[in-house]
Structure 1
Amino acid sequence: MKKFLSLALIILTFALGGCGSEKKDAGNLKIVTSFYPIYLETMNVTRGVEGVEVVNMTPPQTGCLHDYQLTPEDMKTLETADIFVVNGLGMESFLDKVIESRPNLKIIDASDSPEIVPIMEDGVPNPHVWLSITYAIQQVKNISSKLCELDPAHAEAYKRHTLDYVDELTTLRDELHLSLAMLPNKDIVTFHEAFPYLAAEVGLNIVAVIEREPGTEPTPQELAETIEKINSLPVKVIFTEPQYSPKAAETIARETGAKIFELDPIVTGEAKPENLLDYVDRMLNNVVTLAKALQ
């Protein structure tokens, strides 16, 4: 009898342990972010706050969420989320599916404020607002404000961390403006529609975009038009992105003699606490690249 009782206790222990592994710890707040830029912003607001876990939903190399399809693993991650932080402006085209499956999930739209004015393209907002440092600052403030409402117990910590990170971003913005203010050339060709907000912030003029749809090769007519535009510029530079093949840009460069530089939209990276200042570091690299290319 004792033998059977011991066996029953062992089975019960494993069963309870298994059930517990499917749930987050009681009392903890689990925040899920949609992709890397939003992860960085959210982590800088919540860093070090006890009992608050931030998880990035998408894999490190996902990049922008254009046409992204939710995976079973994504849905599993969202099942135990208390809050889902998104970029908004149409970046997360799958959001309706999330709302349908998790109607009680609290969602923070980082771009939902009158201070962020979207650039419209063919009647659709361009969602890459984090590449304007001014708008990145506003996104951080928006995330912080909503977290203070949803988790008032940690509001003071969120506010304190937000002030610290906004100071970092403000210094970064000052460096951007100082480095690019006096450049003689302001005309640039970019790889896809990621940089209008950055361009608008410092007065750059995007004269051509190589791939209107990421991952879609330009047509021969589009290539010819881009080559013609570049040939009319006094300084011929093309900015590619590390997340995409530079093949089309290299073709254009051969035809025009343009130099190729790389701008980083900061959409890929490892979601880990050591990368808290990844946005600042990589945007500084962008500033250096722009200054070198356009001098």
Structure 2
Amino acid sequence: MKKRILFLLFLVMPALILSGCAPVVGDKDIPENFSIYASFLPAYMLSDLIVTEDIPGMNLNLLIQPQDGCMRNYVLSDWDQYIAVNCDAVILIGNGFESFEQGLMNLGEEGPSVISASSSLILDASYQTDNEESHLYGANPWLFLSASGGLQLTEAIAANMIALDPDYESVYIGNLKSAYEKFESLSESILEVKSAVDYQKRTALLHEGLIYIANDFALNVVTRIDRESGEYPDETSLSQMLKTLEESNAEVVLIEKQAPKSLLEALRATGYEIALIDTLSAGGAQNGAEAYFERMLENARAIENAFKK
């Protein structure tokens, strides 16, 4: 198969896809068995909405196994590299979410087709730093933690799959229509949760991706702390973190579900209410599209419970 790098040709209006328009990337010769690997679980969950069993020979797989640490820091193992280089296409969140994105793109014709789903989407850039080693450097690629962001990424994946495999355009469009219904249902459920509680308590974010769900709830964010996901801070870092939280007068802390127990205990001992947010890093390929909606709703309820107290 002639392989090319697929940059996102984002459809500005959803109706553009639904009217049958699709980005053009050149002729493609799709083999009988076409293997697609989604980078991490979030990319897999959203791809599972579009790349379904209705498409003969199209096999969607999860490239990277569940992670306790930050997905953005993950370095491909030799086995991961072998799979990625030899498959037909790789679906990425993009925009720096995968540290290996540029390496795959540099393979050019010798590598897989690369779909970088967020490459033309508007990402949060409200918290910037000049430190290139920081998690907050550059645009924030955790768009999938917002229901609306998840929909945008799903639209992008659908557009690219239509370009890659135009023979099954009608199937991809049908799958996208079904996805719209599921996202609408999720949005309605989240709206019910939002209407039940006053969310104006002063809020601190201890994970870069949580700005998206905070924006969904219009939370009163007073501070955002850059830290390594899943790791307990050393004594100096913990002291600085608690000082920053105290100075911000934060009442509620949003932090990833995989945060160390000892860190959570330190935060609770200081008097903060905590909302544990699932950043979709845990779980294997059995966690497909349906799990995305279930876990996003659980996140909404976790925020509700923290603000009720």
TM range (shorter): 0.7 to 0.9
Partner secondary structure for residue 50 of structure 1: coil
- Structure 1 letter corresponding to 2:239: P
- Cα distance, 1:64 vs. partner? 4.1
- What one-letter code is carried by the residue in structure 2 that aligns with 1:289? A
Q: Is the 8 A contact 1:239 1:263 kept in 2?
A: yes
Q: Which has the higher helix share?
A: 1
With normalisation by structure 2, the TM-score equals 0.78
Indicate which of 220, 225, 229 corresponds to 2:239.
Answer: 220
Q: How does 1:98-109 map to 2 (within 5 A)?
A: 98-101=104-107, 103-104=109-110, 105-109=112-116
* Cα shift at 1:242: 2.3
Alpha-carbon offset, residue 113 of structure 1: 2.7
Please tell me whether the aligned partners of residues 133 and 173 of structure 1 are also in contact (alpha carbons under 8 angstroms): yes
Amino acid at match of 1:285: E
Alignment partner of 1:188 out of 185, 203, 211: 203
The 3 A distance-change label for structure 1 pair 89 and 100 is closer
For structure 1, the residue ranges without an aligned partner over 5 or more in a row are 1-24
Q: Residue deviations 1:201-224, cap 9 Å, x none?
A: 221123234553323613422322
Among 285, 290, 296, the residue aligned to 1:271:
285
Give the conservation status (yes or no) of the 8 Å contact 1:210–1:223: no
Instruction: Measure how far apart 1:244 and its partner are.
Output: 2.5
Give the stretch that moved more between structures: 262-271 or 35-44: 262-271
- Select the residue among 19, 30, 37 that pairs with 1:32: 37
Which moved further from structure 2: 174-183 or 163-172?
174-183
Query: Taking structure 1 as reference, are residues 244 and 102 closer, same or farther at Cα in structure 2, changes over 3 Å only?
Result: farther
Q: Which residues in structure 2 correspond to 1:172-187 (within 5 Å)?
A: 172-181=186-195, 183-186=197-200, 187=202
Query: In terms of Rg, which structure is larger?
Result: 1
Alignment of 1:84-163 (within 5 A): 84-101=90-107, 103-104=109-110, 105-114=112-121, 116-120=122-126, 121-122=128-129, 124-163=138-177
Q: Which amino acid aligns with 1:248?
A: L
Gap change, CA 1:99 and 1:60, over 3 Å in 2: same
Partner Cα separation in structure 2 for residue 71 and residue 102 of structure 1: 20
- For the 8 Å contact 2:199–2:218, the answer to whether it is kept is no
Q: Are the equivalent residues in 1 in contact too, given 2:104–2:114 (CA < 8 A)?
A: no
Q: How many residues align?
A: 264
Query: Could you tell me which residue of structure 2 aligns to residue 11 of structure 1?
Result: none
Q: 1:248 aligns with which of 239, 251, 263?
A: 263
1:201 corresponding residue in structure 2: 216
Residues 1:69 and 2:75 are matched in the alignment = yes
> Is the contact between residue 37 and residue 130 of structure 1 (CA under 8 Å) also seen in structure 2?
yes
Tell me the amino acid that sits aligned with residue 113 of structure 2. K
Distance 1:210 1:278, change over 3 A: same
Aligned-partner Cα distance in 1 for 2:31–2:189: 44
Alignment CA distance shift 1:113-1:26 (3 Å): closer
**For residue 78 of structure 1, what is the aligned residue in structure 2?**
84
DSSP 3-state at the match of 1:261: strand
The SS at the match of 2:158 is helix
| Offset of residue 188 of structure 1 | 2.2
Structure-2 change in CA distance of 1:74 and 1:102 (3 Å): farther
Q: Which has the higher contact order (CA 8 A, sep 6+)?
A: 2
- Matched with 1:286 is 299
| 1:276/1:223 CA distance change after superposition, 3 Å | same
Q: Which residue of 1 aligns with 2:132?
A: none
1:109 Cα offset (Å): 1.1
Judged with a 3 Å threshold, the aligned counterparts in structure 2 of structure 1 residues 216 and 127 are, in CA distance, closer, same or farther, namely farther
User: What stretches of structure 2 of length at least 5 have no aligned partner?
Assistant: 1-29, 130-136
